Amino acid sequence: MSAIKDLPSQSTGPSPNLKYCPQPYENILSAVGNTPLVKLQHIASHLPCNVFVKCEYFNAGGSVKDRIGLRMVEDAEKSGRIKKGDTLIEPTSGNTGIGIALAAAVKGYKCIIVLPEKMSKEKVDVLKALGAEIIRTPTEAAWDAPDSHISIAKKLQMETPNSHILDQYTNPANPLAHYDGTANEILQQLDGKVDMIVAGAGTGGTISGLAAKIKETNPNCKVVGVDPVGSILAVPDSLNDPGRLSSYHVEGIGYDFIPGVLNRGLVDHWIKSKDSESLVMMRRLIRDEGLLCGGSSGSAVSAALQAAASLKAGQNCVIILPDSVRNYMTKALSDDWMIDHNFIDDDIIKKKRYENWWADKRVCDLELNTPLTVSSNVRCKDAIALLKKEGFDMVPVIDEEGDVIGVVTEGNMSTRIISGRASPDTSVKEAGVIYKTFRKLSMNAKLADLATCLDMEPYALIVTEQRCFANRKRKRSVSHDFANGIQAGDKSSEVQAKEQMEVVTKSVVCGIVTRIDLLEFISSDIVTKSEF
């Protein structure tokens, strides 16, 4: 009690931060923009220049995309395109969806968000909490494929009365939000002295809007674009050749097409980022700088540390940190997830070391049961009957070519069928009940690696690679025949060319291992005391 009574005498006066305290807002949308610019103290201490980060996760919805979500909605209102009660549909990697859903919740619009399966559960949960309807699409679908998030959004818009796709990929409100807002904030915060700006490119609206405005007052400012390996946004196009169109884990940046709002002519230099360096840097920013940012922030900072090495003392480099760690609590913030994906630096992320007698044993030392698989066109009701008959709670799924594409689990089917999102009479593929983030190990993998996998999932698929040779025949073309002096109608023109051998590598399931299988091996009588 004495401490409470003595509070006035212990006071040092009003907090100096009160000068930054804003007046009351009419609604939460007024909390979009005016994000802090923070100087890096440790990670960039080896550089002579000043390195600042623009913390966009301080926006109301948690990301830089709140700016364009609000701007696109407000511009559509001003033009009379949308009215209260209409439905807003948007294909997105998640953050733009949250920005639009936030505006829709406050302003009274319905909202449907279409996003690939790759995007985090946390984004989906936030969108649901904001009242948005969620449609998931295959991650591997090309942007113009019928089942891509963009194509599905267009289909929904045609089927839904009074609905609109504001379209972040082509909407000028996207770069304008940064031309009018973000860029001017940075110029004001640094008294107009910006020598380098570094930003990841997704739709490209952020980097295009920033570059256009900042180069007006700072024509010598270097604009550095960051594009993940697997994406094709970087210039020259040869930069995209290593790993072209391969999958990557960092969310929110990169695409397999060039969005209309991306002006690559404004970008002076491109740097390709890798998952490992990006996500480890994200964790360094959290630990060493206290910046609770997401994976694409790690991409931007990793690239900036390379690019800013060319700057001199007194010059300023600004890096955009697009979103917060809130979106990745079960992914890059998890040590187990990072280790499972081999994103290890032996400093922040250290691989588990098993010193037990069994750690160097191999998966082939386990007694594996003959596996049972189902094809992707099997109906859900038949898969359920099979699981019941065999006493399993999961079964691997193979495609038409015999390759493993995922696992059907009792839990996944229960969730979708009971909620009415899938019918028992549809195939497991059409019902969307195939769980694709399963773990695969070879027969020669160490049990220590298996134990690490089983820390994340209750089971692992044991696969072996099989090389399959297939005969493929092809007829000589007419141009080939004439080139060799053979006239049309000549019997020799009907002779088939020599058979060519085509080699295909397939993954074949040879077993399923669960935690109990590993525990049984460890505690079995197979091991003699001398092996302990």
Q: Is 65 a catalytic residue?
A: yes
Residue with tokens 């900072």: 301
Per-residue DSSP letters for 169-207? TT-THHHHHIIIIIHHHHHHHTTT--SEEEEE-SSSHHH
Rounded CA separation 270/264 (Å) = 10
**Catalytic entry in 5, 19, 39, 65:** 65
Per-residue DSSP letters for 201-243? -SSSHHHHHHHHHHHHH-TT-EEEEEEEBTB--SSSGGGG-TT
What tokens appear for 163 in the block?
A: 């609905």
Per-residue DSSP letters for 362-408? BGGGS-PPPP--EETTSBHHHHHHHHHHHT-SEEEEE-TTS-EEEEE
Rounded CA separation 53/293 (Å) = 11
* Cis amide linkage into residue 236, ω under 30° from 0: yes
Identify which of 325, 368, 317 has the alpha carbon closest to the alpha carbon of residue 520.
Answer: 368
Radius of gyration of the chain, Cα coordinates, nearest whole angstrom: 28
314 contacts 194 by C-beta, under 8 angstroms: no
Rounded CA separation 183/189 (Å) = 10
252 contacts 228 by C-beta, under 8 angstroms: no
Identify which of 102, 104, 98 has the alpha carbon closest to the alpha carbon of residue 76.
Answer: 104
Enumerate the active-site residues.
Answer: 65
